[in-house]
Amino acid sequence: MRVYLTWFARRPAARAVVLFSALNLFMVLFFTLLVPPLLRGTTANTDSPLVIPEDLLVRVAIAAFTFGVIVWSVRPGQRSGAELAFLALVGVVFVGITTVYYLPILALVVISVVAHFWLSLRRTTLLSIGTIAVTSPIWAGMHTQGSLLIPAAITGLISVIATVYIMLSFEMVIKEARAREELDASHRQLLHYRDLEIQHAHLEERTRISRELHDTLGHHLTAQRFDLQVMLKLAPPENAPLRAALQRALERNREAIGDVRRAVQALQPGELQTGLREALEELLALWPDRHTVDFRVSGQEYEVSGDVKLAVYRAAQEALTNARKHAPGQEIHLRLRFEDDAVVFEARNRMPTERVPAGEIDTGGQGLRGLSERARALGGKFRMQRLEGEFSLWMSLPAFAY
């Protein structure tokens, strides 16, 4: 139930269908409760069904069942063949009941709205016209005497006018609802990209600070330790206070080096404290479109430097983000290969032909430019291109580059 409510909350078009259907069903129910069945040549009770408990219960039950079917029909997911057949059967029965006992237009104002959720306006209009063409003569034959042409024509004209009015009203609402859906989807995508960029900046800054600590403070403390060891070796054996002071200095230096190492380890991004393959698998596990990603690893995995690990991780993030932005729904193939002295990462995905002209991809994007600069700084190679409707990103880095 919570999944359905969340889905409806994010789908204004589905909410519009449910709202219009509820209003139309209420109108149909109200009409059938006030007007007795229009059966020619019967001696049925002509009292309003509103005062007959059995008739009241039957009409309310039919309306509630129909509304439940409508809500069920626009739920998330694909409809199976059996489900579509059931929906068609419910529609035919609903049209049949209203045609036999009342007016076919009562069913059309509901069915045309639901049909337009899946079909275009043109197809929905053709479906409505076909239904009117079939039901109008049937209704005229059952409820009028003499020539059927004029009653059928009048019934069809009224049905067409009412259906057109409902369809045009619903078309405006559904267009606005779908525009709102696209806007909401774009907003969620922008938020996702923003979070990714914040995460990227966070990873890079922590890595930079960690590297600075390791390369500067760690280097100086290590050099200091060598100096203290030399001084201790040169200190006269008889000068016990000096040797004790040097020993204490060496101990404090050892503790300082340990503190720096722990700080460097703590500053390492949590995502990159595991192996490279595991880090990428954790990234994919959290990716919204995981079902579109084909990730494979070849070669015997070995430990690589933190800079190489971060570069490959960023390349994977950038490839996933670009695929989701420029080729949504398309399958993306990620390949990680461990060679003897290099780590190779490759990403490929199909792209709509109108997105980018064939040839080399524009490298103006900050993310892609950053990957190219990072690869060069590590002594590696980076390229990207689009050929025959496929975008590819390739990066090769020395396994132990810093």
Mean pLDDT of the chain: 79
Does residue 365 register a pLDDT over 70?
Answer: no
Contacting residues for 99 by C-beta, under 8 A, at least 6 apart:
107, 135, 138, 139, 142
Residue 210 and residue 231 in one domain: yes
**Residue 364 pLDDT grade (very low, low, confident, very high; cuts 50, 70, 90):** very low
Tens of pLDDT, residue by residue over 11-70, are 777 778 888 888 888 888 888 888 877 665 544 456 677 778 888 898 899 889 998 888
Residue 125 and residue 14 in one domain: yes
User: 105 lies in a domain?
Assistant: yes
Tens of pLDDT, residue by residue over 79-98, are 788 888 888 898 889 888 88
Residue 280 and residue 209 in one domain: no
Does residue 309 register a pLDDT over 70?
Answer: yes
Which has the higher per-residue pLDDT, 254 or 163? Answer: 254
User: 305 lies in a domain?
Assistant: yes
Lookup: tokens for 75:
């739920």
User: 11 lies in a domain?
Assistant: yes
Q: Decide: 253 and 259 in contact? Cβ < 8 Å.
A: no
Per-residue pLDDT at 155: 61
User: 160 lies in a domain?
Assistant: no
CA 198 to chain CA centroid, nearest Å: 20
Lookup: tokens for 24:
């139309």
Q: Which long-range contacts (CB under 8 A, 24 or more apart) does 156-162 make?
A: 156/132, 158/103, 158/105, 159/103, 159/104, 159/105, 159/108, 159/132, 159/135, 160/129, 160/132, 162/105, 162/108, 162/109
Does residue 297 register a pLDDT over 90?
Answer: yes
> Integer distance in angstroms from the first to the last C-alpha of the chain?
52
Does residue 270 register a pLDDT over 70?
Answer: no
Does residue 181 register a pLDDT over 80?
Answer: no
Give the CATH number, domain containing residue 278.
3.30.565.10
Q: Among the three residues 145, 165, 184, which one is the final residue of a domain in this structure?
A: 145
Tens of pLDDT, residue by residue over 369-400, are 778 888 888 889 999 888 778 889 999 999 87
User: 204 lies in a domain?
Assistant: yes
Residue 261 and residue 324 in one domain: no
Q: Among the three residues 267, 296, 319, which one is the final residue of a domain in this structure?
A: 267
Residue 26 and residue 110 in one domain: yes
What is the model's pTM?
0.45
Q: Among the three residues 145, 165, 181, which one is the final residue of a domain in this structure?
A: 145
User: 286 lies in a domain?
Assistant: yes
Task: Specify the amino acid at residue 368.
Answer: L
DSSP string for 23-78: HHHHHHHHHHHHS----TT-----S-GGG-HHHHHHHHHHHHHHHHHHHHHTSSSP
Q: How far apart are CA 166 and CA 159, in angstroms?
A: 10
Per-residue pLDDT at 360: 40
Contacting residues for 127 by C-beta, under 8 A, at least 6 apart:
112, 115, 119
Tens of pLDDT, residue by residue over 136-158, are 788 777 766 655 556 556 666 76
**Residue 282 pLDDT grade (very low, low, confident, very high; cuts 50, 70, 90):** confident
Residue 202 and residue 333 in one domain: no
Residue 304 and residue 227 in one domain: no
Residue 115 and residue 7 in one domain: yes
SS3 percent helix, strand, coil of the chain, rounded to 5, is 70, 10, 20
User: 379 lies in a domain?
Assistant: yes
- For β-strands 342-350 and 332-338, DSSP reports them as antiparallel
Neighbours of 88 (CB within 10 A): 10
Residue 80 and residue 25 in one domain: yes
User: 304 lies in a domain?
Assistant: yes
Residue 234 and residue 275 in one domain: no
Does residue 239 register a pLDDT over 80?
Answer: yes
Per-residue pLDDT at 9: 62
Residue 141 and residue 3 in one domain: yes
Count of domains in the chain? 3
Residue 315 and residue 233 in one domain: no
Domain extent, residue 216, equals 198-267
| Angle (nearest 5°) at CA 338 between 335 and 343 | 80
